[in-house]
Structure 1
């Protein structure tokens, strides 16, 4: 990421940005944590139908016992760990779900969590 170093009033700024980018990449050519199973490719997809919301997360290299899933009806928090890394992500759901209806499966590094949609909303009294 070298640029032409002619007399430029912004040279110091660009050098600092380059330094920070190099530090962020940590010499791994843009792929962080490739030996642990967690990388920049770790991602979460959310699929919805009229009846349910399904969250699918790629968690390669993680044992089933090291995964924790929590839901408050509006967000799902997925936490997982391997010997080298920890993964913690909060995912906003596209609509309210019944957190007690959650069912999860984990197979070949893929976590799938399904929730039933709920149309219920809570009335809050203003005092």
Structure 2
């Protein structure tokens, strides 16, 4: 425990610690670093590349058979479980996608999922 009485930056450090706890899931009850979850070892990136959405996730310590993917057209859910780790992530996609077009590869702990983006909804004229 830090004594902030003489530290003019104490409030700043407390805010940084609070934000880091939220980012790693400690504030929401998710696994903290060193627990069964991934904590700060994971990274998920989403790329919109023309008519394709690409999601790349680092999943250290996971085997291909421990990965489950679900997509509803707007959210990709990644569940991965290894011998010592569990990872659950809901990734909001930047555009609606055709979930039936999904392809996924897993190589050296890196998951890559590609999905075809859907065209925006058509305008409907009211007569």
TM-score clears 0.5: yes
Q: Over the residues paired in the alignment, what is the CA RMSD in angstroms?
A: 3.0
| Equivalent runs, 1:1-127 vs 2, <5 Å | 1-4=1-4, 32-33=33-34, 38-119=38-119, 121=121
Large movers: runs of 4+ above 6 Å: none
Name the structure with the higher strand share: 2
TM-score, length of structure 1 as denominator length: 0.69
Q: How many residues align?
A: 103
Mind listing any 5+ residue stretches in structure 1 that lack a counterpart?
7-13, 25-30
Q: What's the secondary structure of 1:101's corresponding residue?
A: strand
**1:63-106 deviation per Cα after TM superposition (whole angstroms, max 9, x unaligned):** 10000011000000000011222110000000000000000000
Mind listing any 5+ residue stretches in structure 2 that lack a counterpart?
7-13, 27-31
Cα offset, 1:122, TM superposition: 8.8
**1:45-78 deviation per Cα after TM superposition (whole angstroms, max 9, x unaligned):** 0001221000000001101000001100000000
